[in-house]
Amino acid sequence: MQKPSNRRTFLATTAALAATIVVRPTMLHAQDDSLAALVRAYANGAPIREGRVKLDIAPLVDNGNSVPIEVVVQSPMTARDYVAGIVVFNEKNPQREVAEFVLTPMSGRARVAARIRLAMTQKIVAVARMSDGSCWTHTVEVLVTLAACIED
Amino acid sequence: MARTLITVPTAAGEGEIIEVRALIQHPMETGYRRSGDGDMLARDLIRRFSCRFVAAGKAGEGELVFAATLHAAIAANPSLLFHARATASGTFVFSWTGDNGFAQTERSALSVR
Amino acid sequence: MARHVNAFRIGLASVMLLGANLSIAQPNVLDVRRSGFDFMQPATQALQRDDTQNPAMLWVKEGEALWKKAEGAAGKSCASCHAEAKTSMKGVAARFPAFSAPLKQIVNLQGQINTCRTTRMQAPPLVPEHQTLLSLESFVAMQSRGLPIAPPSDEQMSAARTRGEALFNQRIGQIDLSCRDCHVSNAGRALAGNKIPEGHATGYPIYRLEWQNVGSLQRRLRNCMVGVRAEPYAFGSDELVALEAYLAQRAAGMRLESPGVRP
Decide if B18 touches C, using CB distance below 8 A. no
pLDDT at A148 over 80: no
Note whether B15 and B88 are within 8 A (CB): no
Domain that holds residue A46: 22-142
Asked whether residue A12 is domain-assigned, the answer is no
Better-scored residue on pLDDT, B1 or C66 = C66
List all chains that touch chain C, counting a touch as 3 or more CB pairs closer than 8 Å: A, B
Asked whether residue A150 is domain-assigned, the answer is no
Asked whether residue A9 is domain-assigned, the answer is no
pLDDT at B72 over 80: yes
Cβ pair B73:A93 closer than 8 A? yes
What structural domains and CATH numbers belong to chain B? 4-33+40-112 (2.60.40.10)
Cβ pair C8:A11 closer than 8 A? no
Distance (Å) from the alpha carbon of C101 to chain A's nearest alpha carbon: 34
Lowest mean pLDDT among A16-30, C193-207, C246-260: A16-30
Interface subset of A 10-69, CB within 8 angstroms of C: 11, 14, 16-18, 20-22, 24, 58-63, 65-66, 68
Q: For B53-64, how does the pLDDT look when each residue is reduced to its tens digit (9 = 90+)? A: 999 999 899 999
What's the pLDDT score for residue A58?
A: 78
Decide if C23 touches A, using CB distance below 8 A. no
What's the pLDDT score for residue A34?
A: 84
Q: For A53-68, how does the pLDDT look when each residue is reduced to its tens digit (9 = 90+)? A: 999 997 678 899 999 9
User: What is the tally of structural domains in chain A?
Assistant: 1
Which residues from chain A sit within 8 angstroms of residue C210, using beta carbons? 63, 65, 147, 150-151
Which residues from chain C sit within 8 angstroms of residue A146, using beta carbons? 192-193
ipTM passes above 0.90: yes
Better-scored residue on pLDDT, C172 or A8 = C172
Lowest mean pLDDT among A18-27, A42-51, A141-150, B12-21: A18-27
Q: For C168-214, how does the pLDDT look when each residue is reduced to its tens digit (9 = 90+)? A: 999 999 999 999 999 999 999 998 888 999 999 999 999 999 999 99
What's the pLDDT score for residue C26?
A: 75
Asked whether residue A11 is domain-assigned, the answer is no
Choosing among B19, B64, B66, which should be mutated to test the A contact, i.e. which has the most A CBs within 10 A? B66
Asked whether residue A96 is domain-assigned, the answer is yes
pLDDT at B81 over 90: yes
Mean pLDDT of C236-253: 97
Distance (Å) from the alpha carbon of B82 to chain A's nearest alpha carbon: 5
What's the pLDDT score for residue A4?
A: 44
Asked whether residue A44 is domain-assigned, the answer is yes
Asked whether residue A43 is domain-assigned, the answer is yes
CATH of the domain at A28: 2.60.40.2470
pLDDT at C21 over 50: no
Q: For A88-117, how does the pLDDT look when each residue is reduced to its tens digit (9 = 90+)? A: 999 999 999 999 999 999 999 999 999 999
Could you tell me which residues come within 8 angstroms of residue A37 by beta carbon, excluding any fewer than 6 positions away?
A: none
What's the pLDDT score for residue C79?
A: 97
Name the residue in chain A with its Cα closest to that of B75: A116
What's the pLDDT score for residue C7?
A: 43
| Helices then strands, each counted (H, E), chain B | 0, 8
Percent of chain C with pLDDT over 90: 84
pLDDT at B79 over 90: yes
What's the pLDDT score for residue A64?
A: 93
Name the residue in chain B with its Cα closest to that of A86: B68
C44, C47, C192: residue with CB nearest A147: C192
- pTM (two decimals): 0.88
Asked whether residue A119 is domain-assigned, the answer is yes
What structural domains and CATH numbers belong to chain C? 2-53+153-262 (1.10.760.10), 56-142 (1.10.760.10)
